[in-house]
């Protein structure tokens, strides 16, 4: 058997990501509305140009915060996959995870191995897993530089939809976490 993965305990949780997002958005709005900044940073801008740039910065914040949420989701699924293997539980999902681990160990694909195991071995998760797979296509697009026109599971994703999906997943899936 391969060596166990040493967990870093540095994975993010939803509340940390949400707080960072809201603090940063507030800071951006404050920065772009502070008259003191206008004299230095925005002296040659019109009000419309300032608002346009603020919108661009908030859009980029939404993209990076979405990437953080999706990374947190991947982490919890990978931790669960490993814990199910290490704990050797007898439920169908744990057995499926051990079967994957025997062949692929830590190289298991999130979408094609781990999420498929959840679909095949849990009740009522198929729709949510399908939505996750679409969201992970969005994550690939974000993480790999956004240089192509994405084809995802839905017309578009944004921070709010990714956050809502993350909340549902974290609250409804019986994950084997770090402390269980």
Condensed to tens digits (0 to 9), the pLDDT of residues 55-76 reads: 999 999 999 999 999 999 999 9
pLDDT of residue 32: 87
pLDDT of residue 33: 84
Residue at 5 is within a domain: no
Residue 118 has pLDDT above 90, yes or no: yes
Rounded to an integer, the average pLDDT of 157-161 is 94
Residue 12 near residue 72, CB atoms below 8 Å: yes
Please tell me the total count of domains within the chain: 1
Residue at 48 is within a domain: yes
Return all residues near 166 (Cβ < 8 A) that are at least 6 apart: 14, 69, 70, 72, 73
The domain of 101 spans: 14-172
Greater confidence (9 vs 110) lies with 110
Q: What residue has token string 């839905």?
A: 154
Least confident interval from 49-63, 122-136, 148-162 = 148-162
Distance CA 170, CA 77 (A): 10
Residue at 178 is within a domain: no
Residue at 154 is within a domain: yes
Residue at 73 is within a domain: yes
Distance CA 134, CA 180 (A): 29
Residue 117 has pLDDT above 80, yes or no: yes
Residue at 103 is within a domain: yes
Residue at 27 is within a domain: yes
What would the pLDDT profile of 13-64 be if each residue is shown by its tens digit? 999 999 999 999 999 998 888 756 566 778 888 889 999 999 999 999 999 9
Residue at 4 is within a domain: no
């Amino acid at each position: 058997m391969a060596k166990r993965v040493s967990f870093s305990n540095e994975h993010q949780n939803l509340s940390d990501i949400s707080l960072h997002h809201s603090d940063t958005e507030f800071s951006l709005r404050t920065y772009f509305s502070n008259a003191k900044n206008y004299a230095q940073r925005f002296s040659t801008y019109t009000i419309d140009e300032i608002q346009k740039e603020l919108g661009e910065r908030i859009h980029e914040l939404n993209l990076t915060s979405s990437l953080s949420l999706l990374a947190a989701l991947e982490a919890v699924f990978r931790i669960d996959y490993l814990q199910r293997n290490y704990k050797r539980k007898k439920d169908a999902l744990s057995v499926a995870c051990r079967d994957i681990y025997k062949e692929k160990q830590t190289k298991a694909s999130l979408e094609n191995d781990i999420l498929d195991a959840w679909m095949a071995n849990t009740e009522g998760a198929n729709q949510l897993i399908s939505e996750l797979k679409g969201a992970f296509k969005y994550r690939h697009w974000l993480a790999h530089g956004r240089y192509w026109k994405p084809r995802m599971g839905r017309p578009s994703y944004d921070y709010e939809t990714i956050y809502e999906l993350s909340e549902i997943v974290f609250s409804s899936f019986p994950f084997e976490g770090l402390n269980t």
